[in-house]
Amino acid sequence: MTNSSANIYKKRRENLTNFLEEGSYLIINSASNVIRNNDTTFPFRQNSNFFYLTGFNEPECVLLLNNNGKTTFFCRPKNPDLEKWDGFMHGIEGAKENFAFDNVLNIEELEKLLPEIIKGCSTVYSLIGKDQSFDEKLITLINRANSMERHQANIDLKNFSNIIGKMRLTKYEDEINLMKKSCHIAAMSHKEVISNVKVGMSEFDIESMYLNQFRIRGSRYPSYTPIVAGGKNACILHYIDNNQSIEDGDLVLVDAGCEYGMYASDITRTFPINGKYSSEQRAVYDVVLEAHNAACNAVKIGNSCMEPQNVSETVISQGLKDLGFLTQSMDEILEKQLFREFYYHKIGHWLGLDVHDDCPYSVNGSDVKFEENMVMTIEPGIYINDTAPVEEKWKGIGIRIENDIRATKKGFENLTHEVPYDASEIESLMNNA
């Protein structure tokens, strides 16, 4: 790691000390290797909050940050034998030289040294509830520190997740650049796959094409398990079996994004396997598109982050009325949330290091208001299940359109605009390949 990127993380830690009480410590641990089965592990993925504050990409580390911005970092010592099996480790010297920590210690000494460091402090902030075994270890070590300073007040343990969540809401310039790249790779992958799908391909075939596109464009992993849903499988929101054949005349809903530089993209497109929407599919599609466009316009500095939700409910309700699916008055549809029969998820979520970025939607009881460089997905959908009270010809249609939207000074920027989402544009993409 270069010094300049170490400084990015150092600056974040310094900014964060503004939220720490006098005489306090923030303590946060890295992710661990996770067993998949027997003795094989999933690929290591660093804890997003830990990465946000350190840029350090190894397991078995703990960061201590005091309110003056001084850092003590615990990590694994360099081990040439282990490196022969698992690859490069920074080690204690490497962490000290390359990551701008003030002090670096051996993780094996955490239990001995941590109580010494924090004894007599007022407060320990930690991400309580994210990792139960670390929570338990930390409580034990805080108790040990308390027993060393019997004439002082006990240390308060406070949850830090809302503070760091609020910080992560507004992305720094370097984060926006990585997000743009992640969105670009995902968008170009969607575009390439959609222009190449053909009748006869299965969900599995199409999933493989996406994963290949992500990889050849520089992203090793999707940011979540892709959803590749043919026909009525689209009505199952978290469908990830992706193993069914697709009939001529079916729609395919693909919700797939990639991870680049630790940042997630998240895109959904719904296209006809044969390159042409039926009139029913098109009618529903255009309602979802209208809701999508209206919701994007509501991503505006100063607006409540719930505004896109409200706007999408109104547009979809009107559309469901126009299609004849709902017959009640608009007031009744909205008040009783009757649209939820067809639109049964929320408009979107914060996006960043996590695909569902771990950031708040309300703070102290008030909705978060959009600020520049907040990024939210906008993803309205309409799903017509077998049990829906509509004519047979509509059943099994499931449509969602999802883009990644950044709040800007001028309004909003669609970071995933490179893959078309207008129905006619999708048809020309599929037929002019």
- Point out the residues that are catalytic: 39, 238, 255, 266, 345, 349, 356, 379, 383, 400, 402
Inter-residue contact 291 to 262 (CB < 8 Å) = no
Q: Which of 207, 266, 313, 357 binds Mn ion (CB under 5 A)?
A: 266
354 binds Mn ion (CB under 5 A): no
Distance in angstroms (rounded) separating the CA atoms of residues 115 and 150: 13
Of the candidate spans 40-48, 141-149, 166-174, 264-272, the one that interacts with Mn ion by CB under 5 A turns out to be: 264-272
Of the candidate spans 206-214, 265-273, 334-342, 406-414, the one that interacts with Mn ion by CB under 5 A turns out to be: 265-273
Of the candidate spans 120-128, 140-148, 261-269, 271-279, the one that interacts with Mn ion by CB under 5 A turns out to be: 261-269
Which CB, 72 or 219, lies closer to Mn ion? 219
Query: Least distance (Å) from Mn ion to the CB of residue 377?
Result: 4
Which CB, 24 or 377, lies closer to Mn ion? 377
Which CB, 266 or 358, lies closer to Mn ion? 266
Which CB, 240 or 338, lies closer to Mn ion? 240
In sequence order, the 6+-apart residues with CB closer than 8 A to the CB of 384 are 235, 284, 325, 342, 390, 394, 395, 396, 397, 398
Inter-residue contact 227 to 252 (CB < 8 Å) = no
259 binds Mn ion (CB under 5 A): no
357 binds Mn ion (CB under 5 A): no
Distance in angstroms (rounded) separating the CA atoms of residues 104 and 107: 9
Is the sign of the CA dihedral 355, 224, 274, 391 positive or negative? negative
Distance in angstroms (rounded) separating the CA atoms of residues 400 and 59: 37
Query: Least distance (Å) from Mn ion to the CB of residue 300?
Result: 20
Query: Least distance (Å) from Mn ion to the CB of residue 154?
Result: 43
Which CB, 6 or 227, lies closer to Mn ion? 227
Inter-residue contact 107 to 62 (CB < 8 Å) = yes
Query: Least distance (Å) from Mn ion to the CB of residue 244?
Result: 22
Structure tokens at 422: 């207008």
Structure tokens at 207: 């999933």
Distance in angstroms (rounded) separating the CA atoms of residues 383 and 337: 15
Which CB, 370 or 394, lies closer to Mn ion? 370
Euclidean distance between the first and final Cα of the chain, in Å? 42
Binding mask 371-410 toward Mn ion (x if CB under 5 A, else -) reads: ------x---------------------------------
Query: Least distance (Å) from Mn ion to the CB of residue 129?
Result: 24
CA gyration radius for the chain?
A: 25
- In DSSP notation, 261-310 reads TTEE--EEEEEETTS---HHHHHHHHHHHHHHHHHHHT--TTSBTTHHHH
Query: Least distance (Å) from Mn ion to the CB of residue 398?
Result: 15
Q: Which residue is nearest to Mn ion (CB)?
A: 266
Which residues contact Mn ion (rule: CB under 5 A)?
Answer: 266, 377
